[in-house]
Structure 1
């Protein structure tokens, strides 16, 4: 199984969310399907099932590698660099 080394370098404690929804979707007038929290800076973006894929766009713009789900009752993480659950 592939290992993600990026998790070890994340800020502790993890950053708080900068918003409670995807601000990119709000600005574009679309509705996010699922939310993701950047574990480097606290940006909240929508998932790849959303029309504009703001969480992935945030990774492309910033290089911040790991996000976690921002959905109630879920706690999984994803590394965009290693393409693994982290």
Structure 2
């Protein structure tokens, strides 16, 4: 299921809001995911599964990040897959 926003843009790390880890760590993962989808839609970014996953990682790295890996989700075209 893909919700296509008008003028689909890409998620940009520099333009994302910054949230305090101490605050968002107390919020349930599902509510953070819902916020991420809302953020994507409001900013005209196409809502695909990989965009939601990457958005959650960028917005809430301490909650959705992989332990000891700080580079973000691996993209198949950059990993030689």
TM-score > 0.5 by shorter chain: no
TM-score, structure 2 as length reference: 0.33
Larger fraction in helix = 2
Larger CA Rg, structure 1 vs 2? 2
Q: Higher RCO, 1 or 2 (CA under 8 Å, sep at least 6)?
A: 2
Higher strand share: 1
Q: Normalising by structure 1, what TM-score?
A: 0.32
